[in-house]
Amino acid sequence: MQLFHAIAAIALFGVPQSALADGCPRPTVDFSAKMVGSIQGSEPISMGTMYHHGDKVRAEQAMTGLKVATVFDYSKRTAVIIWETAKVYAMVPDIDRAKMDGPGIWRSCKFEAVGTEEINGHATTKYRVLNAKQMGFKGHVWMTRHNIPIRFSGQVVVPPGAKRPQGEKSPSFAHDLTDLRLSKQPRKLFELPKDYRKVTTAELMKLMSAAPQAN
């Protein structure tokens, strides 16, 4: 279960950083940053490291002892989970245009500037989300002048047509990028090693769940 939540968190917090959909602001520079997140007001935890280059994002998770990275290529609309220790990888299934154009938070972007703040040592513009139902997110986003969403905080909103389990409340969450460094990122970070073996996501989950570090 711990492993499942680790990968789910990478999907949640890794994908939004690239601001995928047409019309959404995209980062204009390469960068790396530490990811820190919390859910339901919990103590912030280190979620790993993010690397951004063009239309590609690499998110390395830090919540288990496993060396796992998820690489998103938004121009090709692909996502792959890489387990470095075992030299295996799995393509994430069902990555279609609708999902890659904004899973949850970034499905479409309609913001209203509400002020400026310094966040984690960087000047930002604070935006309020105007189309919460379409974006699946109610709250605020803080963007640097390079369109890097250095912080977002709010509450998950169930999108139109989706159903929430009875009695379940929408979780609140917060996510920050810290130790933000603007610099060119090595191409090899976003490439799939040629000597790695391809497996299905089900096989990958089974292999990783059996690893001592995941328990």
* Three-class SS of 170-193: CCEEEEEEEEEECCCCCHHHHCCC
With a pLDDT cut of 70, the percent of the chain lying above it is 68
If 0-12 CB within 10 Å is exposed, 13-18 middle and 19+ buried, where does residue 47 land? buried
User: Is the model more confident about 83 or about 22?
Assistant: 83
Name which of 2-16, 106-120, 160-174, 189-203 the model is least confident about.
2-16
Domain that residue 159 falls in: 2-206
Does the pLDDT at position 209 exceed 70?
yes
d(CA 169, CA 79): 29
CATH code for the domain in which residue 113 is found: 2.50.20.10
Does the pLDDT at position 96 exceed 80?
no
- Residue 7 has φ and ψ, to the nearest 5°, of -70, -40
Does the pLDDT at position 152 exceed 70?
yes
Q: What pLDDT does 61 receive?
A: 82
CB hemisphere CA count around 151 (13 angstroms): 23
Q: Is residue 211 part of a domain?
A: no
What's the whole-number mean pLDDT along residues 169-186?
A: 88
d(CA 47, CA 173): 13
Does the pLDDT at position 65 exceed 60?
yes
- Distances from the Cα of 193 to the Cα of 74, 84, 177, 196, angstroms: 19, 9, 27, 6
What's the whole-number mean pLDDT along residues 43-62?
A: 86
Q: Quickly state the pLDDT bin for 66 (edges 50, 70, 90).
A: confident
Q: Is residue 119 part of a domain?
A: yes
Token pair 């189309």 is at which residue? 131
d(CA 140, CA 129): 6
Q: Is residue 214 part of a domain?
A: no
Q: Is residue 212 part of a domain?
A: no
Instruction: Judge whether 185 and 52 are in contact, CB under 8 Å.
Output: yes
Q: Is residue 145 part of a domain?
A: yes
**Into how many domains does the chain fold?**
1
d(CA 125, CA 143): 5
Does the pLDDT at position 30 exceed 90?
yes
If 0-12 CB within 10 Å is exposed, 13-18 middle and 19+ buried, where does residue 183 land? exposed
Q: Quickly state the pLDDT bin for 191 (edges 50, 70, 90).
A: very high
Does the pLDDT at position 24 exceed 70?
no
Q: What pLDDT does 26 receive?
A: 76
> What mean pLDDT is reported for the chain?
76
Q: Is residue 109 part of a domain?
A: yes
Q: Is residue 126 part of a domain?
A: yes
Q: What does pTM read for this prediction? A: 0.78
Q: Is residue 13 part of a domain?
A: yes
Residues, the chain: 215
